[in-house]
């Protein structure tokens, strides 16, 4: 039994400079684990609440006063018991009392402590049936930022280098090279303008959404030629962020649902897009199904805000034929238990999973273990910045230990 001896929660800062929470869980054996929780900016309306109304200080106070006393002595190796205690003390469906980020930090810290106690890597503790740690996710690497992650950028939130290769020592440099080539192309396109970077390390430039896709597609083609890795364009539209009063609003026009479906289907074919996240707003399962019907045979159609990692919403999406893939973000549902429930449902329903960072991140590598342990089709992560590189480097380490 891996009984909990002590638990600590404290304030730390994320990559945007916003406060978040980290947890340290120590076991009777002396083993311990620590984890911090990331935060989103374009959060889905169906996510759990990251922090209670009083923010991080209130989260810390509530966890210390009400939750930690109940966690002491619990068997951390019994994930259902540990995570179940968090949900029981919180008592709300959206974790609004302790905060979803507290739940994530505690749940991951507990799992990390148990892994340390066993002398095993974290991924093995999370491993789903048939996972042996020798299969690695492809890379979904954010290269140009827009939407809520960039001031003055395009409507689409993320322009992605999707490097499809089972070997991280090939996929990671291919995605990074695409990012570099895209930066050079942007500089040529706007020779006298300043070029900045957004929240996830992608470039920020005053391009329109389609122009951004065209530049991205060119950069991918050049990276493919140079490195002989299958790197193709991807998009996260985060369409809910520019959807209002029934229409998708671009700087020069607005589209109804049918217009939006036709527009994204056209983009997929014109630019060879192979990864398409949230092309439709977060409550329109039918609109998603129309996109999947049109292009789901040649691109991943991924639900992020649509599902917010919730098994009940994924079940609804499967019934509707809404997607062929689901984004997995632990703090959208709080605990690893809830996350793995959704991962298992996805496997049963043949939906690919994509393990994802948040726009506000902590400089830790545990996300790579979640991706490997759950057999994710891809790891979605920025390519630059210490908090992003921490995850890529951890994936490289795992691949060197067990890899192809």
Q: How far is the CB of 31 from ligand PGA (least distance, A)?
A: 31
309 interacts with, out of Zn ion, ligand PGA, none, CB within 5 to 8 A per kind = none
Question: Nearest-CB residue to ligand PGA?
Answer: 40
115 interacts with, out of ligand PGA, Zn ion, none, CB within 5 to 8 A per kind = none
Q: How far is the CB of 176 from Zn ion (least distance, A)?
A: 21
Does the CA dihedral 132-392-388-35 come out positive or negative?
positive
Nearer to ligand PGA by C-beta: 308 or 335? 308
165 interacts with, out of Zn ion, ligand PGA, none, CB within 5 to 8 A per kind = none
- Rule CB under 5 A: choose which of 304, 361, 364, 387 binds Zn ion: 304
**Widest Cα–Cα separation across the chain:** 63
Q: How far is the CB of 92 from Zn ion (least distance, A)?
A: 25
Question: By CB neighbour count within 10 A (0-12 exposed, 13-18 middle, 19+ buried), where does 36 fall?
Answer: buried
Please list the alpha-helical segments (H only) found in 228-334: 257-271, 285-295, 311-320, 330-333
40 interacts with, out of Zn ion, ligand PGA, none, CB within 5 to 8 A per kind = ligand PGA
CB 235: neighbour CB atoms within 10 A?
30
Helix (H) or strand (E) holding 391: helix 386-402
What three-state secondary structure class fits 242? helix
- Look up residue 305 and give its DSSP letter: T
Stretch that binds Zn ion, among 21-29, 236-244, 246-254, 374-382 (CB under 5 A): 236-244
331 interacts with, out of ligand PGA, Zn ion, none, CB within 5 to 8 A per kind = none
What three-state secondary structure class fits 56? helix
Q: How far is the CB of 117 from ligand PGA (least distance, A)?
A: 31
186 interacts with, out of ligand PGA, Zn ion, none, CB within 5 to 8 A per kind = none
The Cα–Cα gap between 53 and 245 comes to 28
Nearer to Zn ion by C-beta: 24 or 260? 260
Phi, psi of 170 (to 5 degrees): -105, -45
Nearer to Zn ion by C-beta: 271 or 307? 307
370 interacts with, out of Zn ion, ligand PGA, none, CB within 5 to 8 A per kind = none
Q: How far is the CB of 39 from ligand PGA (least distance, A)?
A: 7
* Residue 388 CA: distances (Å) to CA of 114, 151, 164, 380: 25, 20, 18, 10
The Cα–Cα gap between 276 and 285 comes to 15
Nearer to Zn ion by C-beta: 42 or 102? 42
Applying CB under 6 A, the residues found at the interface with ligand PGA are 40-43, 157, 236, 238, 304, 356, 358-359
Please list the alpha-helical segments (H only) found in 307-365: 311-320, 330-333, 336-348
Question: What would the two tokens of residue 379 be?
Answer: 């790891």
* Residue 296 CA: distances (Å) to CA of 119, 165, 179, 290, 351: 42, 20, 26, 9, 12
Annotated catalytic residues are 200, 329
Question: What would the two tokens of residue 144 be?
Answer: 């140009």
Nearer to ligand PGA by C-beta: 164 or 304? 304
Nearer to Zn ion by C-beta: 2 or 15? 15
- Residues numbered 174 to 203 that lie near Zn ion (CB under 5 A) are none
Nearer to ligand PGA by C-beta: 164 or 278? 278
Q: How far is the CB of 327 from Zn ion (least distance, A)?
A: 6
Q: How far is the CB of 236 from Zn ion (least distance, A)?
A: 4
255 interacts with, out of ligand PGA, Zn ion, none, CB within 5 to 8 A per kind = none
Question: What would the two tokens of residue 84 be?
Answer: 């179940």
**Pairing relation of β-strands 230-236 and 203-204?**
unpaired
What three-state secondary structure class fits 397? helix
Nearer to ligand PGA by C-beta: 42 or 107? 42
Please list the alpha-helical segments (H only) found in 161-301: 168-189, 209-227, 257-271, 285-295
The Cα–Cα gap between 219 and 232 comes to 9
Q: How far is the CB of 199 from Zn ion (least distance, A)?
A: 12
For the chain, what is the radius of gyration of the CA atoms? 20
Does residue 236 interact with Zn ion by CB under 5 A? Answer: yes
Contacting residues toward Zn ion, per CB under 5 A: 236, 304
């Amino acid at each position: 039994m891996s009984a909990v001896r002590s638990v600590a929660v404290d304030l730390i800062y994320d990559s945007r400079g916003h406060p978040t929470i980290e947890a340290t869980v120590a076991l009777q054996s002396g083993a311990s684990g620590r984890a911090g929780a990331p935060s989103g900016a374009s959060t889905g309306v169906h996510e759990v609440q990251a922090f209670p109304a009083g923010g991080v200080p209130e989260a810390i106070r509530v966890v210390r006063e009400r939750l930690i006393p109940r966690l002491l002595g619990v068997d951390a190796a019994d994930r259902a018991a540990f995570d179940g205690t968090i949900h029981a003390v919180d008592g709300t469906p959206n974790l609004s009392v302790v905060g979803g980020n507290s739940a994530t930090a505690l749940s991951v810290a507990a799992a990390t402590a148990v892994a340390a106690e066993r002398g095993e890597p974290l991924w093995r503790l999370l491993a789903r049936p048939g996972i042996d740690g020798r299969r690695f996710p492809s890379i979904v690497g954010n290269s140009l930022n827009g939407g809520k992650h960039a001031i003055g950028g395009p409507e689409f939130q993320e322009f992605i280098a999707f490097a499809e290769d089972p070997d991280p020592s090939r996929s990671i440099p291919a995605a990074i090279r695409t990012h570099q080539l895209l930066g050079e192309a942007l500089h040529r396109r706007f020779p006298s303008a300043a070029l900045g970077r957004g929240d996830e390390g992608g470039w920020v430039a005053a391009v329109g959404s389609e122009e951004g896709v065209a530049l991205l597609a060119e950069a991918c083609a050049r990276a493919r030629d140079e490195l002989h890795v299958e790197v193709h364009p991807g998009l996260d539209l985060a369409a809910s962020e520019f959807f209002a009063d029934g229409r998708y609003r671009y700087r020069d026009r607005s589209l109804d649902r049918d217009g939006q479906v036709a527009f994204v289907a056209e983009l997929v074919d014109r630019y060879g897009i192979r990864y398409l996240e949230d092309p439709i707003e977060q409550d329109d399962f039918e609109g998603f199904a129309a996109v999947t019907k049109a292009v789901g045979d040649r691109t991943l159609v991924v639900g992020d805000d649509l599902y917010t990692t919730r098994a009940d919403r994924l079940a609804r999406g499967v019934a509707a034929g809404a997607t062929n893939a689901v984004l997995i973000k632990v703090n959208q549902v709080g605990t690893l238990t809830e996350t793995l429930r959704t991962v298992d449902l996805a496997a049963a329903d043949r939906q690919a999973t994509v393990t994802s960072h948040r726009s506000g991140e902590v400089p830790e590598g545990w996300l790579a273990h979640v991706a490997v342990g759950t057999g994710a089709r891809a790891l979605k992560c920025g390519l630059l910045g210490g908090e992003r590189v921490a995850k890529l480097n951890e994936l490289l380490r795992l691949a060197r230990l067990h890899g192809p």
